[in-house]
Structures are given as C-alpha cells and as structure tokens.
C-alpha cells in the first residue's frame, strides 16, 4: 500500500510532467507533443466565437422583429387623417414659422 505522502508526490510528479508537455512542446515527435494545446485552445476559441455569432444573429432578428412590431402598433394608433405623405411629415418633422 502506498502511503499518503508518496501518493501526493506521485500526483504532483504526474501533474508536473503533463504541464511540461503542454507548456514546453518538443521540436520533433507526435503532433500533440510538438504543437501542444494550441489546436485545442483554438477549437475552444472558435466554438465560443460560433456561439457568440449565433447569439448575435438571434438578437438582431429579435431586434428587427420588435422594431417591425412597434411600427405596426404605431400605425394602428394613428389613424390616417390625410395623405400618407402628410402623416409621415407630421410624425418626423416639426414645422416652425
């Protein structure tokens, strides 16, 4: 049976070896040993960027639909009392003498 101190030393040694492989990759050898965690970190970054772009697209669609809904509500609230151009001018500009 391994005593507690030796178990901690073995765990620390395993952690140290793993970190040395990731932080100081070899010049020659298998792809993962040569390139380290770069490809893994890039894939994580790309996945996060993809999620953010999906969220941005959803928010822009939601924003557009809310704007269209507000325009539809405004059109129902203001009945047309004259030509369409006159109602647009009265809503968008202030005429001063």
Query: Quick one: which of 36, 55, 53 has its CA closest to 45?
Result: 53
The answer to whether residue 84 is domain-embedded is no
Q: Cα 16 to the chain's mean position, in Å? A: 33
Query: Quick one: which of 62, 43, 75, 96 has its CA closest to 35?
Result: 43
- Can you give the pLDDT at residue 34? 63
pLDDT digits (tens, 9 = 90+) for 27-47: 666 666 666 667 777 888 889
- Can you give the pLDDT at residue 72? 81
Q: Do residues 9 and 3 lie in contact, with contact meaning Cβ atoms separated by under 8 Å?
A: no
Please give the share of the chain, as a percent, with pLDDT higher than 70: 62
- For residue 26, is pLDDT > 60? yes
The answer to whether residue 16 is domain-embedded is yes
Split at pLDDT 50, 70, 90, the class of 71 is confident
Phi, psi of 42 (to 5 degrees): -65, -40
pTM (2 d.p.): 0.39
Q: Is 55 helix (H, G, I), strand (E, B) or coil?
A: helix
**Number of domains comprising the chain:** 1
The answer to whether residue 87 is domain-embedded is no
């Amino acid at each position: 049976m391994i005593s507690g101190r030796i178990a901690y030393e073995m765990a620390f040694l395993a952690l140290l070896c793993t970190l040395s492989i990731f932080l100081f990759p070899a010049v020659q050898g298998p792809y993962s040993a040569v390139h380290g965690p770069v490809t893994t970190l890039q894939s994580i970054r790309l996945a996060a960027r993809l999620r953010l772009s999906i969220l941005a697209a959803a928010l822009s669609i939601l924003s557009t639909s809310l704007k269209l809904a507000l325009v539809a509500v405004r059109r129902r609230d203001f009945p047309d009392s004259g030509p369409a151009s006159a109602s647009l001018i009265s809503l968008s500009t202030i005429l001063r003498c």
